[in-house]
């Protein structure tokens, strides 16, 4: 018969092993999932940075990525807001467009993706594909008038990339 | 006092709508709901004139279509809160003629634990004793876990069947351990077997294998999963909206879903979640074996036959006992961007209902717009015996070409000039061929057809056209409906595919027929009396209202002749969900 402390040690080691194996499995899931996306590095860093990702299934990983798109879009809106306060006439029309774009991303695409991702992923996939294109329209809105403000350009690019990664993850659910 | 003002406003708006009947000029309209005091600005410019759509917001799948006591019923997935998918309920409309639609209150909406998070698609069955019953997919949690519920009319003597009750002995069917419970939805209309038991099918998947599950019941309340599925196919992905029904091999009458016998073949259609199009097969089914077996010559998979080679999804058919027809509903989503949809305040339309019959060859189905749509035909024009040499086009004038019905028969003297079919091409990727061989790419026999929703200088147009190829001692006929040049607007965010399908036709008569229903932002085309159908959604910026043009054209070295072309202005139905 094992003494109490021996039993506890075995239980603790078993627990650690199960947790380690599970985490390894999750790490593998993150790696395999990110390999199916067009930007492995962005995918992996974004997912690993999220506290829930170690125990996530593919749908959860998709939702984490959608949340990243949401956060970046919020950042875009804040950047646009700051730029508009500068009141530069050459920028105003394009910024107006960008504000509408990101409002639609927020209220439309992200909302749909959050609702539909688990259970009806096709709508979520279309929504994320839409976000990538819509971020491009913000960038394009400045064309021929002025160079897009670097701060906004940077955010547009990241939203575009995150959306394409999210879309690729969601495709695994179809 | 306030109520009088509201009624006056509605009355004046109605007068305005009647006055601007054909191709309305106003591009904005404010709809004041009588139930609430919120006004939504809906952009009218791409709204259809005679297709089924509500006044505003998002719609998707047609649900539970049926005929009951003098009325056609259509329910549909609807978002009461906006122009994007979400908060889905079963909206409800009725019609006496499939053309004029009266809006009713929502029939089914989240109200119980078994549908708290959503009331998704389903079907209606008319039980013996003329008792309608709806089976639908309920969502029970935030993870979109799917169960199957039933609802029955609260009052059978209400001809409109306005109210529906969902008894507490729901859900009727939940996923067992072998079923993926987030891919378990869209119960079909039920059919009765020779043993007197009811059967339904439910769509789903296991990994990459599409599955049409089979469930049986004696009493329509207790359902038992059959050991084997109705049908499955590996590599096709999730199956949604299965539609399973018999067609007559001996005549053009539709059949009740339970029909059986030697004069009957069966059809199984599934909507493919992965590819966003549908495919069907013809086959055999008997309730003794309870399996559906596609005929040997059928392509069972992504390369299979389609009801429609364009924007046509989540379709569902029903048997109309009044006219003995099997009628098909299909949904077309928007091809513009989310921003556009939110701005314009609406998204999604239902296509004009189509009858389904078996082609005399027995190798495919024929789909054709219901005859009732022809009651909307107004002023007509006609062309006869008009020759079109290479590069020539002729304008069809005198009607509202943005809201029209066109039927044309083309003829040609010889097949000799048909260009060779490149052996490198994928015989099953018609869309790819259409995208490289567009209407401006000259050919041998073809391209010829119509230029719809065209701007005067052809900066914008949506061509619908044939191109004939020589292939292994035979000929292949390609029908294209090409949205790639449909609009000058910034292309980012808009989907402009070159939809296409092959037309299985014997060219000995040296004729090809085409019909197109044109309606502002939708073009539904039917090649060879419904052998090949293609629906396109387009958003012209110039070719709108009176600035839209319609041409017949030929860009092939073989001259073609317009034997007859008939085109009509299409009136708006007096009522469309107002």
ipTM value for the complex? 0.86
Q: Is B490 near chain A, with CB under 8 Å?
A: yes
**What is the rounded distance in angstroms from the CA atom of residue B473 to the CA atom of residue B518?**
36
Strand partners, A1: none
C-beta of residue B66 within 8 angstroms of C-beta of residue B164: no
B338: chain A residues, CB-CB within 8 Å: 104-105, 108-109, 127, 130, 134
Residue contact B143–A111, C-beta within 8 A: no
Q: Is A106 on the interface with B (CB under 8 A)?
A: no
Exposed/middle/buried for residue B505 (C-beta within 10 Å: 0-12, 13-18, 19+): buried
Instruction: DSSP for B40-62, please give it.
Output: EEEE-TT--SSSB--SSEEEEEE
Partner residue facing B493 (CB), from A118, A137, A174: A137
Per the prediction, chain B carries an average pLDDT of: 93
Residue B164 has pLDDT above 90, yes or no: yes
Contact B490 A122 (CB under 8 A): no
Distance, in Å, from the CA atom of B369 to the CA atom of B10, rounded to the nearest integer, reads: 32
Q: In chain A, what residues touch B314 (CB-CB under 8 Å)?
A: none
Percent of residues, chain B, with pLDDT higher than 70: 92
Question: Is 50 exceeded by the pLDDT of residue B8?
Answer: no
**Amino acid B569: pLDDT:** 98
Q: In this predicted model, what pLDDT tens digit does every residue of B124-158 receive, in sequence order?
A: 999 999 999 999 999 999 999 999 999 999 999 99
Q: What is the DSSP string of B350-378?
A: EPPPEEEEE-TTSSSEEEEE-GGGGGGEE
Residue of B nearest to A59 (CA): B143
For the record, the structure tokens of B323 come out as 């006219």
Contact status, residue B355 vs residue B326, Cβ threshold 8 Å: yes
Collapsed DSSP state (helix, strand, coil) of residue B268: strand
In angstroms and rounded to an integer, the radius of gyration of the C-alpha atoms of chain A is: 21
Q: Assign B334 to helix, strand or coil.
A: coil
Instruction: Report pLDDT for A19.
Output: 75
Residue B62 in this model has a pLDDT that exceeds 50: yes
Of the given ranges (B109-118, B214-223, B334-343, B404-413), which has the lowest mean pLDDT?
A: B334-343
> A136 in contact with B at a CB cutoff of 8 Å?
yes
Q: In sequence order, which ranges of A58-149 are alpha helices (DSSP H)?
A: 58-85, 89-104, 111-116, 121-140
Q: Which residues of B touch A140 (CB under 8 A)?
A: 490, 492
Closest to A102 in 3D by CA, of A69, A124, A129? A69
pLDDT of residue B25: 38
The DSSP element (H or E) to which B199 belongs, if any, is strand B198-206
B18: pLDDT strictly greater than 80: no
| B-contacting residues in A 32-51 (Cβ below 8 Å) | none
Of all residues in chain B, the one with the smallest CA distance to A97 is B339
Predicted TM-score (pTM) of the model is 0.91
Tell me what pLDDT residue A145 has: 80
Q: What's the first-to-final CA gap in chain B, in angstroms?
A: 23
Q: Does B41 score more than 60 pLDDT? A: yes
Closest partner CB to B339 (pick from A100, A115, A116): A100
Q: What is the rounded radius of gyration, in angstroms, for the C-alpha atoms of chain B?
A: 24
B177-206 confidence digits (pLDDT tens)? 999 999 999 999 999 999 999 999 999 999
Instruction: Please answer whether residues B461 and B469 qualify as being in contact, where contact means their C-beta atoms are separated by less than 8 angstroms.
Output: no
**CA B234 from centroid of its chain's CA atoms:** 26
Which residue ranges in chain A fall short of pLDDT 70?
Answer: 1-2, 23, 26
Min distance B211 CA to chain A CA atoms (Å) = 13
Element (H, E) at B244: strand B239-248
Q: Where are the beta strands (DSSP E) in B96-190?
A: 102-103, 118-127, 131-139, 146-153, 164-165, 173-174, 184-185
Interface A-B: count of C-beta contacts within 8 A: 75
For residue B342, list chain A residues with Cβ-Cβ distance below 8 A.
104, 107-108
Identify which of B82, B237, B339 has the shortest CB distance to residue A101: B339
The residue assigned the tokens 């077997």 is B193
**Which H or E run includes B15?**
helix B2-19
Nearest to A123 by CA among B165, B85, B430: B85
Whole-number Cα distances in Å, A86 to A80, A82, A91, A141, B554: 10, 7, 9, 18, 56
3-state secondary structure of B415: coil
- B349 contacts chain A (CB < 8 A): no
Mind listing the pLDDT tens digit for each residue in B77-123? Answer: 999 999 999 999 999 999 999 999 999 999 999 999 999 999 999 99
HSE-CB of A26 using CA atoms within 13 angstroms? 19
Check if the beta carbon of residue B451 is closer than 8 Å to that of residue B514: no
Check whether B15 has a pLDDT greater than 70: no
- Euclidean distance between CA atoms B476 and B84, whole angstroms: 40
Nearest to A112 among B84, B182, B274 (CB): B84
- Confidence (pLDDT) at A26: 67
pLDDT value, residue A144: 81
Contact (CB<8Å) B85/A123: yes
The pLDDT value recorded for residue B19 is 40
Band (pLDDT 50/70/90 cuts) for residue B24 is: very low
pLDDT at B43: 86
What is the pLDDT, as a whole number, of residue A5? 79
Q: What is the mean pLDDT of residues B562-567?
A: 98
* CB contact (8 A) between residue B84 and residue A136: no
User: Model confidence at B227, in pLDDT bands (50, 70, 90)?
Assistant: very high
Best to test chain A binding among B337, B490, B497 (most A CBs inside 10 Å): B337
Please identify every residue of B annotated as catalytic.
61
Please state at what angle helix A4-35 crosses helix A58-85, rounded to 10 degrees.
60
**Contact between B144 and A118 using a beta-carbon 8 Å cutoff:** yes
pLDDT exceeds 70 at position B246: yes
Query: What confidence category does residue B21 fall into, taking pLDDT thresholds of 50, 70 and 90?
Result: very low
Q: Which of B145, B183, B492 sits opposite A136 (nearest CB)?
A: B492
Three-state DSSP at A96 gives helix
The C-alpha atoms of residue B490 and residue B563 are separated, in whole angstroms, by 38
Report CB contact under 8 Å: B273, A174. yes
Pair B108, B134: CB distance under 8 Å: yes
């Amino acid at each position: 018969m094992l003494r109490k402390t021996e039993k506890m040690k075995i239980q603790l080691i078993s627990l650690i092993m199960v947790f380690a194996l599970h985490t390894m499995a999750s790490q593998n899931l993150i790696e395999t999932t990110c390999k199916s996306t067009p930007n492995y590095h962005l995918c992996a860093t974004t997912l690993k940075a999220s506290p829930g990702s170690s125990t996530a299934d593919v749908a959860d990983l998709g939702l984490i990525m959608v949340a990243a798109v949401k956060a970046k879009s919020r950042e875009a809106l804040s950047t646009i807001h700051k730029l508009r306060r500068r009141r530069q006439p050459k920028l105003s029309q394009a910024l107006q467009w960008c504000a509408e774009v990101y409002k639609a991303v927020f209220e439309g695409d992200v909302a749909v993706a959050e609702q539909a991702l688990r259970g009806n992923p096709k709508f979520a996939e279309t929504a994320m594909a839409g976000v990538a294109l819509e971020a491009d329209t913000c960038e394009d809105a400045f064309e021929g008038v002025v160079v897009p403000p670097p701060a906004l350009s940077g955010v547009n690019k990241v939203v575009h990339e995150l959306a394409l990664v999210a879309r690729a993850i969601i495709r695994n659910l179809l | 006092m306030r109520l009088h003002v509201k009624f006056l406003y509605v009355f004046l708006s109605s007068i305005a709508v009647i006055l601007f009947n054909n191709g309305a000029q106003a591009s904005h309209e404010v709809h004041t709901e009588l139930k609430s005091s919120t006004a939504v600005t809906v952009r009218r410019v791409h709204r259809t004139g005679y297709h089924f759509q509500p006044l505003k917001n998002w719609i998707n799948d047609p649900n539970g279509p049926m005929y009951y006591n003098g009325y056609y019923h259509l329910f549909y997935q609807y978002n009461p809160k906006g122009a994007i998918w979400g908060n889905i309920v079963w909206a409800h409309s009725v019609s006496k003629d499939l053309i004029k639609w009266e809006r009713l209150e929502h029939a089914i909406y989240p109200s119980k634990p078994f549908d708290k998070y959503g009331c998704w698609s389903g079907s209606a069955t008319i039980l013996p004793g003329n008792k309608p019953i709806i089976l639908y997919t309920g969502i029970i949690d935030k993870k979109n876990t799917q169960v199957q519920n039933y609802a029955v009319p609260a009052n059978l003597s209400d001809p409109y069947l306005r109210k529906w009750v969902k008894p507490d002995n729901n859900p009727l069917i939940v996923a067992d351990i072998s079923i993926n419970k987030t891919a378990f939805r869209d119960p079909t209309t039920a059919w009765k077997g020779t043993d007197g038991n009811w059967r339904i099918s439910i769509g789903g998947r296991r990994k990459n294998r599409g599955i049409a599950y089979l469930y049986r019941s004696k009493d329509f309340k207790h359902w038992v999963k059959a050991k084997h599925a109705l049908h499955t196919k590996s590599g096709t992905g999730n199956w949604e909206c299965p539609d399973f029904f018999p067609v007559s091999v001996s005549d053009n009458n539709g059949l009740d879903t339970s029909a059986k016998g030697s004069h009957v073949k069966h059809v199984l259609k599934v909507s493919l979640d992965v590819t966003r199009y549908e495919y069907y097969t013809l086959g055999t089914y008997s309730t003794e074996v309870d399996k559906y077996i596609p005929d040997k010559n059928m392509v069972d998979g992504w390369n299979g036959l389609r009801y429609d080679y364009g924007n046509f999804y989540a379709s569902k058919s029903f048997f109309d006992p009044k006219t003995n027809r099997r009628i098909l509903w299909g949904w077309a989503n928007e091809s513009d961007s989310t921003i556009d949809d939110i701005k314009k305040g609406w998204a999604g339309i239902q296509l004009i209902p189509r009858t389904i019959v078996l082609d005399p060859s027995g190798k495919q189905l024929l789909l054709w717009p219901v005859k009732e749509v022809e009651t909307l035909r107004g002023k007509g024009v006609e062309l006869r015996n008009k020759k079109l040499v290479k590069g020539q086009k002729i304008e069809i004038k005198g009607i509202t070409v943005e809201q029209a019905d066109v039927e044309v028969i083309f003829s040609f003297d010889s097949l000799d000039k048909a260009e060779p079919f490149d052996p490198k091409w994928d015989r099953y990727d018609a869309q790819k061929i259409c995208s490289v061989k567009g209407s401006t790419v000259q050919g041998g026999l073809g391209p010829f057809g119509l230029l719809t929703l065209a701007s005067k200088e052809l900066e914008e147009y949506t061509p619908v056209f044939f191109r004939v190829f020589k292939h292994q001692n035979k000929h292949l006929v390609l029908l294209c409906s090409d949205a790639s040049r449909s609009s000058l607007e910034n292309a980012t965010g808009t989907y402009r595919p070159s939809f296409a399908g092959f037309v299985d036709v014997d060219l000995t008569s040296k004729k090809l027929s085409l019909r197109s229903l044109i309606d502002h932002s939708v073009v539904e085309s039917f090649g060879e009396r419904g052998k090949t159908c293609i629906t396109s959604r387009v958003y012209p910026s110039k070719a709108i209202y009176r600035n839209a043009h319609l041409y017949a054209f030929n860009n092939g070295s073989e001259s073609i002749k317009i034997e007859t072309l008939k085109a009509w202005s299409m009136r708006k139905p007096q009522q469309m969900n107002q």
